[in-house]
Chain A
Amino acid sequence: MRKLLLALLLASGGTVQAAQTITAHVNGMVCAFCAQGIEKKARALPQTEDVYVNLKQKIVAVQVREGQSLSGEALTSLVKDAGYDVVQIETVEGTTAAIRARMEGE
C-alpha cells in the first residue's frame, strides 16, 4: 500500500503542497454585517478555497486554492475597499479549518 501511495505521489509530480492561508487582523470589524461584506468579497476571488472569520479576534483568514497565489497586499486592498483597516497580515501554512480549530479551541 505504501508503495502504491509513493507511486501515485511520484506520478502526480512528486511534490505535496501544504495549504496556504493569508490571515488579516482587521480593525473595525466588530459586527456580522461588517464581516459578511468582507467574507463575500474574499470568497469571490478566484484564488480563494475557503474563508474563516473570527469576530472576537477580528481575524479574516483566506485559504488559497492549491496551485494559486494570493498576496497580502491583495487581501489588504480588498478589506480596505470594504471600509476597514488591516493592521497585521501574515501568510501561514495550514488550512482555515486548522486555524478555526486553534482559535476556537483557545
Chain B
Amino acid sequence: MSMGDMGPNWREVFINYAVTARDAIGVAHTAMRSDDNQESDYLTEITYTRLLHRWNLPDAQANLWFVGGAGELRGTDREADRHWSRMAVTPGVQVDYETTRVYLSALHRLYRASGINHDYTAVRAGFAFWEPHYEQTQPWLIVEARSMQDLSDRPEITPMLRLINRNYFIEAGANNFGQPRFNFMLIF
C-alpha cells in the first residue's frame, strides 16, 4: 500500500507492506515546514502499523490502530543558518469508524527528537454523496482539521473531494489558508 499527503507544510509519502492481516511494515518520508518558512525538517523512517482491534458491525466497521516509526530527522534552521540530524520516534494511535456513507477518524501521533516536538493531531469526518456501488467510482466529501506542533500556530482545516475506486483513492481540496492539498492511497 502506498499513500501520499501533499500539503504546503506537511508532505508525506509512505509505502507499507502487510506482513499479516493486522501488521504492516514500511518506509516513510515526511517533509515538514513552518508557516514562516524559517524551519524545514525531513524525516525518513521505518514504520510499523498494527491493527489493535477491529469491530465488525452489521453496517459499520471501527478500528483502533497503532502507528509508529523510527528514523532520522534532518533539519535546517534558516535563522541560524545551520543543518542538523537527530534520531526521531513517531508513535501514535488512530481510531476510525466507517459505514458505507459516513467516515470518522482521529489520529494523534508524536513526532519527537531531541529538542524537537512536531506532534500531529488530525480529525476527519466525511460522507458519501450516495450509496456506493463497488464497481463504480464513489465520491465523498471529507473535512479534515489538523494541527502540527511548532510548525503552525493555527489549525489547518481542509474540505476535500475524495474519489474511491476499488484499490485507490485520491483527495483534493484547499485549506483555510487557500493552499492546495492532494492526497492519494493505492493498494497493490
Hey, which bits of chain A sit against chain B, CB under 8 A? 26-37, 53-56, 58, 81-85, 87
Residues of chain B contacted by A27 (CB below 8 angstroms): 56-58
Does the CB pair A83–B98 fall under 8 Å?
A: no
Residues of chain B contacted by A85 (CB below 8 angstroms): 56
Minimum CB–CB distance from A50 to chain B (whole Å) comes to: 13
Partner of B56, one of A31, A33, A84: A84
Minimum CB–CB distance from B93 to chain A (whole Å) comes to: 18
Given contacts A35-B166, A55-B132, 4 further A-B contacts (CB under 8 A): A28-B61, A30-B59, A36-B167, A55-B100
3 smallest A-B Cβ distances: which pairs? Answer: A28-B56, A27-B56, A28-B61
Q: How many residues of B contact A (CB 8 A)?
A: 27
Partner of B131, one of A56, A83, A84: A56
> Can you list 19 A-B contacts with CB-CB less than 8 angstroms, sorted by A residue number?
A27-B57, A28-B60, A30-B100, A31-B98, A31-B100, A31-B164, A32-B166, A33-B185, A34-B61, A35-B166, A36-B166, A55-B133, A56-B100, A56-B132, A58-B58, A58-B59, A81-B21, A83-B56, A84-B56
> Complex: how many Å from CA A82 to CA B21?
6
**Given A30-B60, A33-B164, A54–B134 Cβ distance below 8 Å?**
yes
Minimum CB–CB distance from B114 to chain A (whole Å) comes to: 37
**Given A27-B57, A53-B134, A85-B56, A32–B164 Cβ distance below 8 Å?**
yes
Residues of chain B contacted by A82 (CB below 8 angstroms): 21
User: Is B187 interfacial (CB 8 A cutoff)?
Assistant: yes
> Complex: how many Å from CA A26 to CA B61?
11
Minimum CB–CB distance from A74 to chain B (whole Å) comes to: 17
Minimum CB–CB distance from B66 to chain A (whole Å) comes to: 15
> Complex: how many Å from CA A55 to CA B132?
7
Residues of chain B contacted by A35 (CB below 8 angstroms): 134, 166
- Within B32-72, the residues touching A (CB, 8 Å) are 51, 54-61
> Complex: how many Å from CA A34 to CA B56?
11
Does the CB pair A32–B132 fall under 8 Å?
A: yes
Minimum CB–CB distance from A72 to chain B (whole Å) comes to: 18
> Complex: how many Å from CA A34 to CA B176?
32
> Complex: how many Å from CA A91 to CA B31?
52
Partner of A32, one of B21, B54, B99, B138: B138
